[in-house]
């Protein structure tokens, strides 16, 4: 019998985590093989390899401990990929050569699959003097554009785009440009962006005081702190970015404040890291640890939790020694401090099983209690590892125990650390778990509330027909299994029905016992007032959070699919989340080629080339709509033969998988030929591949597949579903479904699990 609780869980495993040979043949025949592969790889450095392999397997079994996607997909495969999720790159020098050295390091890191963070505060502001060349500086935003373009060309391991975080201090002279950057819907789309907020700035905001914008000791101008704060708030209200990071609070709480200074985070914000800092992630699935769910005796099994945490800490510590690293500086940093980020997922489901309403005082108190138990267990497990294998190399007992986080730790834990040391400098973090939560049976993600208790996912079959799969939240399915058709109690709330300040309360409750940080999205209704929106951020500051990320539907990032209860719903009943995906849908298998296709042939002649290229694009018609199916490129020039055949086969394979395949155009048009491009029809075209991309784009426009040049899919008509209105947002770039939602600071697709952030 399959271990998977839902079809989507097995599909996520097959697409993202199942180990396959180069020709696609599965090497992991079952998910048990995946667990065994991971356990065996992480036990290889133990003296008792088989004993620890079995213990690690037991922790992984039935999705109790969920290593992050990098580990699940890469461990034991012998592939040259990093098992670490998060990197902050080195300090960016304020020189042209140094900046481009950093760009190269970023490309190498993303090529191996790491998400990266950068602090761009170290680059001189726009208009500043550049000594020795009689020129003005172009400023950090111009270099961020270069990073953004580089990231678009790098496909991270695991078939997802590179993810980046850019930070800038609130006193940098270009901070206002940084704040406004995302108002341009085409700019810096590969970045998440956050402003580094200092304690002094927040004091000035509350006092309505003046605030100097400074670089290199020079005051460039002075603004009112509250005006600058309001500009941040207005940009976030209108465009969902930038977020805010309370950087002084992070550095004061840091266990390693005696030997490092943090100025940036990984892309989703849960890992504040020093230059070349690296961290790996994993999550305890709380939904799997509740006994007697939905009964008066329901409780989390604390003994099982403690044992699972201890085993997970050992597994994660072993990853530090097993993993590859993109750069030697990252390896040195990781092994000197042995940072890990153990977190949770399934929190909201576990609370539901205990009859607690997410966002209530009781739920916040229970969350704080569970996170403290995890922190205690993790720190004590790391002490035991230090006894056996030694403390992390930069351990200094008195300095370590004097940090903000350790001062609140229980005395028995502090005494154990003082006597024996500790193996891992930092141990806890709450990371985005959108994809691994689907893989684990659609448990609630991280510490987020349940987004929707059920929704319908449409899958296009090879014959052109569609099947529908109901995707049900793990706790809701358990309720149905135990209670039958009984209506859901009123404590079943979701992300749409919660007040934003209830989100803040839950984040603050968890943060108290998380030594790194938390990736969480505070969903705000579109009609929230600006003043109420600002109150969310001030509450996050006042309640001790280390940062704040909100999402309010807007015209730039789009409206995510939402759930709306109707008057027909029974009291206490949660409506299904249902959306029509138009004609762009995820295909379970590639479509077979019909006997006849509609198509067109285009001729292009590249300057200085003896022969023209003839490009034929054929379309398949599904439900009356044309979509590209295959491409052929022909030329008498035999020099082009091999690469044109390879290119057409790859593009055709992508087209036959369905989804929003317009990204192919974007990728081709971005290719630059180092020998130079050419002017064609009044436009500069950077390469012959870019010219081919332009032809495909014009064909897609002509057939109505995309809306226009440089634009995405042509909008489908609004579809009414009985009892629900499903607002249209952007389609998923992987599968084309209109199931994107903001979860843990990152747009995530509910249909296929695609996420820019993993």
DSSP per-residue string spanning 224-242: EHHHHHHHHHHHHHHHS--
DSSP per-residue string spanning 624-685: TEEEEEEEEEE-S-GGGHHHHHHHHHHHHHHHTTBS-TTHHHHHHHT---TT--EEETTEEE
Q: Which two tokens stand for residue 561?
A: 């699919």
From the list 476, 714, 455, 421, the residue with the least C-alpha distance to 584 is: 714
Q: Give Cα 185 distance to the centre of its chain.
A: 20
Residue 694 near residue 686, CB atoms below 8 Å: no
- 658-689 residues labelled b (16+ CB within 10 A) or e (exposed): bbbbbebbebbbebeeeeebbeeeeeebbbbb
What is the rounded distance in angstroms from the CA atom of residue 435 to the CA atom of residue 735?
A: 14
- 336-351 residues labelled b (16+ CB within 10 A) or e (exposed): bbbbbbbbbbbbbbbb
What is the rounded distance in angstroms from the CA atom of residue 284 to the CA atom of residue 134?
A: 57
**Angle separating helix axes 688-702 and 641-655, nearest 10 degrees:** 30
Query: What one-character DSSP code corresponds to residue 121?
Result: G
The angle formed by the CA atoms of residues 495, 8 and 478, to the nearest 5 degrees, is: 60
Residue 737 near residue 705, CB atoms below 8 Å: no
Residues with a known catalytic role: 266, 268, 270
Backbone region of residue 682 per phi and psi (left: phi > 0; alpha: psi in -120 to 50; beta: other values): left
Cα torsion for 748, 750, 751, 753, to the nearest 10°?
Answer: 50
Q: Is beta strand 278-285 parallel, antiparallel or unpaired with respect to 86-88?
A: antiparallel
């Amino acid at each position: 019998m399959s271990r998977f609780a839902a079809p989507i869980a097995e599909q996520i495993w097959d697409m993202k985590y199942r180990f396959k040979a180069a020709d696609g043949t599965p090497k992991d025949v079952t998910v048990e093989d995946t667990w065994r592969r991971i356990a065996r790889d992480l036990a290889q450095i133990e003296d008792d390899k088989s004993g620890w392999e079995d213990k690690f397997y037991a922790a992984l079994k039935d999705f109790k401990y969920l290593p992050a996607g990098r580990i699940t997909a890469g461990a034991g495969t012998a592939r040259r990929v990093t098992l670490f999720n998060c990197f902050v790159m080195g300090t960016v020098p304020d020189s042209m050569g140094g900046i481009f050295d950093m760009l190269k390091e970023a490309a190498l890191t993303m090529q191996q699959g790491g998400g990266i963070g950068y602090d761009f505060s170290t680059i001189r502001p726009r208009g500043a003097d550049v000594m020795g060349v009689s020129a003005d500086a172009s400023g950090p935003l111009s270099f961020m554009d270069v990073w953004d373009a580089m990231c678009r060309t790098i496909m991270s391991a695991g078939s997802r785009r590179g993810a980046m975080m850019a930070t800038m201090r609130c006193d940098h002279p270009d901070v206002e440009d940084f704040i406004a950057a995302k108002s341009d819907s085409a700019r810096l789309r590969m970045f998440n962006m956050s402003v580094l907020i200092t304690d002094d700035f927040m004091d000035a905001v509350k006092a309505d005081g003046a605030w100097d914008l400074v670089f290199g000791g020079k005051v460039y101008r002075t603004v009112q702190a509250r005006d600058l704060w309001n500009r941040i708030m207005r940009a976030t209200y209108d465009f969902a970015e930038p977020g805010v990071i309370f950087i002084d609070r992070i550095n004061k709480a840091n266990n390693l404040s005696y030997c490092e200074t943090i100025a940036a985070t990984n892309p989703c914000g849960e890992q504040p890291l020093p230059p070349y800092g690296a961290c790996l992630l994993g999550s305890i699935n709380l939904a799997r640890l509740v006994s007697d769910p939905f009964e008066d005796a329901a409780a989390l099994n604390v003994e099982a939790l403690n044992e699972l945490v201890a085993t997970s800490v050992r597994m994660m510590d072993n990853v530090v020694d097993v993993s590859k690293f993109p750069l030697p500086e990252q390896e040195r940093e990781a092994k000197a401090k042995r940072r890990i980020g153990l977190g949770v997922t399934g929190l909201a489901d576990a609370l539901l099983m205990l009859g607690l309403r997410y966002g209530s005082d009781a739920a916040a108190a229970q969350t704080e209690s569970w996170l403290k138990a995890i922190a205690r267990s993790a720190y004590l497990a790391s002490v035991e590892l230090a006894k056996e294998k030694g403390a992390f190399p930069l351990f200094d007992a008195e300095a370590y125990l004097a940090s903000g986080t350790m001062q609140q730790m229980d005395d028995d834990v502090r005494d154990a650390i003082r006597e024996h040391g500790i193996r891992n400098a930092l141990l806890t973090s709450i990371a985005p778990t959108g994809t691994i939560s689907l893989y684990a049976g659609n448990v609630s993600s991280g510490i987020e509330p349940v987004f929707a208790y059920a929704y319908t996912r449409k899958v296009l079959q090879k014959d052109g027909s569609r099947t529908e799969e109901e995707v049900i939240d793990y706790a809701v399915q358990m309720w149905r299994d135990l209670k039958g058709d009984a209506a859901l109690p009123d404590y079943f709330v979701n992300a749409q029905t919660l007040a934003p300040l209830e989100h803040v309360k839950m984040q603050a409750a968890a943060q108290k016992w998380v030594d790194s940080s938390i990736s969480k999205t505070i969903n705000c209704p579109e009609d929230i007032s600006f003043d109420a929106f600002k109150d969310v951020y001030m509450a996050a500051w006042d309640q001790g959070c280390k940062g704040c990320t909100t999402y309010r539907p807007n015209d730039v990032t789009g409206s995510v699919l939402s759930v709306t209860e109707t008057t027909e719903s029974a009291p206490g009943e949660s409506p299904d989340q249902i959306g029509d995906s138009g004609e762009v849908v995820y295909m379970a298998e590639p479509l077979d080629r019909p006997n006849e296709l509609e198509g067109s042939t285009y001729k292009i002649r590249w300057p200085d080339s003896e022969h023209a290229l003839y490009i034929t694009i054929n379309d398949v018609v599904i439900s009356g709509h044309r979509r590209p199916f295959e491409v052929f490129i022909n030329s008498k020039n035999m020099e082009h033969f091999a690469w044109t055949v390879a290119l057409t086969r790859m593009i055709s394979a992508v087209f036959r998988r369905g989804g929003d395949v317009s990204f192919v155009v974007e990728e081709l048009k971005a290719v630059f030929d180092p020998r130079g491009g050419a002017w064609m029809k009044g436009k500069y075209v950077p390469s012959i591949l870019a010219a081919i991309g332009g032809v495909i784009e014009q064909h897609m426009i002509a057939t109505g597949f995309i809306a226009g040049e440089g634009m995405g899919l042509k909008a489908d008509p609004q579809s009414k579903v009985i009892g629900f209105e499903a607002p249209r947002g952007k389609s998923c770039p992987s599968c084309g479904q209109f199931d994107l939602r903001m979860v843990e600071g990152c747009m995530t697709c509910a249909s296929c699990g695609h996420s820019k952030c993993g």
